[in-house]
Amino acid sequence: MQNNEKFEFLVNESKKTFTILLKGFWSPETVDALIKNYHVETKKIKVSNYSIIVDANGLKTSKMDMTPLMGKCMQMYFDTGFNQVFLVEPESPTSAIQMKSALKAFPKLKYLKSVNSIL
């Protein structure tokens, strides 16, 4: 498990889930750190046996220049080879709208109300 003040990776081996908890306000530097740590953490598991849950519930509204970076991260999650990709939307309505706008190019993305709905 990798922990950072803006993100945290959690692996549940029994449920075969790899969860990323997203928190707070993000910058391009935060995204760079996430991507670097993501590659380290995903090498520890056989991703094709796991589903990924991106829990953005704690994510705050970001500057508009972050929208393409959200899409870049989602593309990375799909490209990694997880068997399913889930997203828990941000609690903030503004953040949720921003994220949906960034992720409209991902029709296979499955939305959840909470992490508990899959675990």
| Domain range for 31 | 7-117
Total domains present in the chain: 1
Q: Tell me if 2 is assigned to some domain.
A: no
Q: Is residue 69 part of a domain?
A: yes
Residues 25-83 pLDDT 10s: 888 899 999 999 999 999 999 999 999 999 999 988 677 777 788 889 999 999 999 99
- 26 found inside a domain: yes
- The sign of the CA dihedral 37, 10, 25, 109 is positive
Confidence at 113, pLDDT banded by 50, 70, 90: confident
Give domain status of residue 84, yes or no: yes
Q: Given a cut of 50, is residue 1 above it in pLDDT?
A: no
Domain contains 11: yes
- Residue 22 belongs to a domain with what CATH number? 3.30.750.24
- Kindly state whether residue 45 falls inside one of the protein's structural domains: yes
Model confidence band, residue 4 (pLDDT cutoffs 50, 70, 90): low
Does 91 map to a domain? yes
